[in-house]
Structures are given as C-alpha cells and as structure tokens.
Structure 1
Amino acid sequence: MTDLVAQAALPLEVRRYPQHFTSEERADAAFTWPAGGPDLWGENCCGLACLRMLLGYFDLAVPSQRSLLARGLELGAYTPKGWHHQGLVNLAEPYGLTGAAVPYDSPQSLQRLALLGIPTIVSVTFRLPEDGRKGGHLVLFLGETVHADRRQAAFADPSRWGAEHHEVPADRFWASWTGRAVVLWPTARNPADLPEELNGITSRKGDAP
C-alpha cells in the first residue's frame, strides 16, 4: 500500500485509466447499459476513471468502470450536471477509501496534499482553456513542479486529450479550476497517524457538492 509521506517526489506517479470504454467492454452482451449506452457514458465517466486511478495508486483493488458506473447510478451519485463530488466519496467507501468533497480558497492546499503523497480529484474545464469557464471535467492533480523557472501543474486526465497531455503551465491549469476537490485516502490508515491536513478534512465532509 502506498505510504503517506512527509515529502513525496512530484509529480506523483499513477496509472492513468481512460474514461471511454474499450471495444471488448462495449461488445459484452452480459452487461446491461444504462440509457444512452457506452457512447454517452464514455463521455461522462471522468470521475469514475479518476476514482480507479486513486484505487490503483493506493494499491487497492480496482473494479471495472462498468461496475462503478452501475453502483454509482444506484447511489444517485450522478446528476445531469455530472458526478456529485460527495457521491464519489460515498462510492469510494466500499472499495477502501475515505475522505470528503472539500472547497478550497487556494491551490496551495492541494499542492501540500500532493507533497504528502495524496493526489486529488479536481474539477476543471476540458482541455484547460483560459477563457473564463470553470469546471465540467474531473482530472487527478499530481502536483506542481518547476522546469526552467516555469511552474507546471501535472495531472492525469482520463479523456482522449489527456492521453497526450500530462502537464501545462500552472496558471493555465488553475484558471478553470472551480475551487473544489475530492480528497480520498485509504480507510485502513490509523487516524492517529494521519497528517493534520487530513484530520482537518474529515471534519469538513459535505462542505462541497
């Protein structure tokens, strides 16, 4: 199981899972697709793919995206606007993760979590435009680094665009961030051993939608 450390090397390393379904998954007649089928849901499973990345990062069993989709819909975690952040927290709990949906005033809080070895699910705009739009797409933030005096934000994006794009200038990344994040870590961790940043989060459950 990946340890929570005082100073992790950045960017954090995770296995990226895509949000779109494979041809084998699409052809499986044993699975009953929700209305809209794999085409629609492949465009709307960014949050589930990020959850699978976190499970893998913490060395927990990674369920299929289809099983997460079915369970998430049963829990009412999906709304017409996308995946409800607290719904993702609730969905993660049976798989060994705990945490909260949390609003933040500054990305510095997420950088501190990354330095503790904790990736966070953040709400940004697809392809990270700098046009004033915010939110609408979930990616996994892996920490900021500095290259040639330029601060870069590293991330794992489950979209097709994200297969080729892993970091952008930090200012561009945060320009479309909503100020919200889903923070998750292994339930098996002894609460007494958790860093102060996580103990504070547990008292804020439900603060963000």
Structure 2
Amino acid sequence: MSVPTTQHPVPYYSQWESRTLVPEFITGRRDAADDPLWQKSGADTPREYAFWAPRMCGVACLRMVLDFWRHSVPPSVPLVRELCEAGAYVRDGDAVKGLIYQPFADYVGARWGLKAESVPDLAASHIHEAIASGRLVLMSVHKTVRTPEIDPPSKGGHLVLAVGASKEGVMLHNPSGLPGVSQEHAPVSWARFDRFYAGRGVIVGE
C-alpha cells in the first residue's frame, strides 16, 4: 500500500532567538552573546545563552512539537534545565553529552503527556509512515543539511524535525536552517537525505 503525501502545519522555532541572524551565528561572524533577542531565551546572562544556543537543536524541535499540539511553549533555556535534570543532557564543564534519546522520550511523556519513542534504527520508510499517521519525527542528521546539494563530511550530530513526507522526499524544520531557504518546510529528496541521516531519531505523537 502506498503512503500518501503529508505535510503538517507545524510552527517553526530556531535554536537562536534571532532566526534571521542564523547565517552570522553559524559562520562565527557574530557571537550568540550578541543576539539582540537573547533575553527571550530565559537565560540569566548572554553567556549562558551563548553556551546553549549552538547545542539547542533538540530543544527547538521540542518547542515546535509542543506548539503543534497546543501546549504552552516555555523559553528555550528553562527547557534545557529541565532536560538536564531529566538526564537528556549531561554537562561536564564546557562539554555536553546529548541530546540522549531515551531520557528525552521519557521526559516528553512524563512532562507533556505526549507519546515519544526513541528509535535507534529508524528507516526512512518508517519516517514516512510516522508522518502519514499524524506524528512528527526528530531525526539525527549532519548540520550541513541546510545546504542539501552539498555532500556532508559525515552523518548525524544535529537534530531536525520531519514535518512532511512523500514518496519523493522529506520536509524539514531545521533549527539551524538558513532564513528563507532551509528553515521551514524545507524539502530534501530521500536520496540526498540519506547522505546526512544517521538512521536514528524520536517519533512523537499524541
């Protein structure tokens, strides 16, 4: 049985507060501490925000998920703190391990009442099926998926949210995507997506 084309109207959140400045943040032309909207993150200081912003792709995906299912959407840094307490991030000085999928999935279920499943071996066909059934999928890809026409050096390390899928490809909300190009509803063919995708993720639904 063929799986239909599906696109969910998911609100978009960047991992930086100033989504239009993402090109400057990812190239290092501007420090995240100089984000004029940093206070919206709920961080106590610009430096706290600057530490977490490059690491908050999973948090941005969670905020999209919460908004889509009509939950209140906390600022990003308070969510980071909750996820640290839940064991989904483990910080050791300036090093951070995470997002760790199973503690994250447990947290999403306990805190928000959503069904979250950590899937360490997630085939592309299952992503399509999950989207068609009304769910959303956090997926591990290389961060350069923002420019899918360029081959990445490796797979994984960055989280994006699958918000649509068809026989031809997947549609992404990318927390570090380029404004007007690859932030919202960005299409990537399955053939190109496979070059970036690490084959694992978290499926979330009501």
What's the TM-score, normalizing by structure 1? 0.72
Q: Percent identity?
A: 26
Structure 2: unaligned runs, 5 residues or longer: 19-34, 91-95
1:105–1:76 Cα change, 3 Å: closer
Q: Secondary structure at the match of 1:120?
A: strand
Aligned partners of 1:14, 1:55: CA distance in 2, in Å? 10
Which residue of 2 is the match for residue 10 of structure 1? Answer: 6
Matched residue, 1:167: 187
Equivalent pairs counted in the alignment come to: 175
Quote how far apart the aligned CAs of 1:50 are: 0.4
Determine the structure 2 residue equivalent to 1:78: 89
Deviation at 1:104, TM superposition (A): 2.8
Find the partner of 1:52 among 46, 55, 63.
63
1:10-159 pair list within 5 angstroms: 10-22=6-18, 23=35, 26-27=38-39, 31-32=43-44, 37-79=48-90, 80-93=96-109, 94-104=111-121, 106-128=123-145, 130-131=151-152, 133-145=154-166, 151-159=168-176
- State whether residues 127 and 161 of structure 1, in contact with CA within 8 Å, keep that contact through their aligned partners in structure 2: no
* C-alpha distance in 1 between matches for 2:37 and 2:49: 9
1:57-109 Cα shifts (integer Å, max 9, x gaps): 12222222122011112222114343111122133221221222112352101
TM-score using structure 2 length = 0.73
CA distance in 1, matches of 2:115, 2:180: 28
The aligned counterpart of 2:198 is: 178
1:180/1:105 CA distance change after superposition, 3 Å: closer
Aligned residue identity for 1:32:
D
Specify every segment of 5 or more residues in structure 1 that has no aligned partner in the other structure, as ranges: 1-6, 187-209
Name the CA shift for 1:116/1:60 in 2 (closer, same or farther; >3 Å).
same
Question: Displacement, 1:136?
Answer: 0.4
Which string of whole-angstrom CA distances, capped at 9 and with x for unpartnered residues, describes residues 6-56 of structure 1? x8752222101111135565247x84359x521121100000110111111
Distance 2:163 2:66 in 1: 14
Give 1:123 shift. 0.5
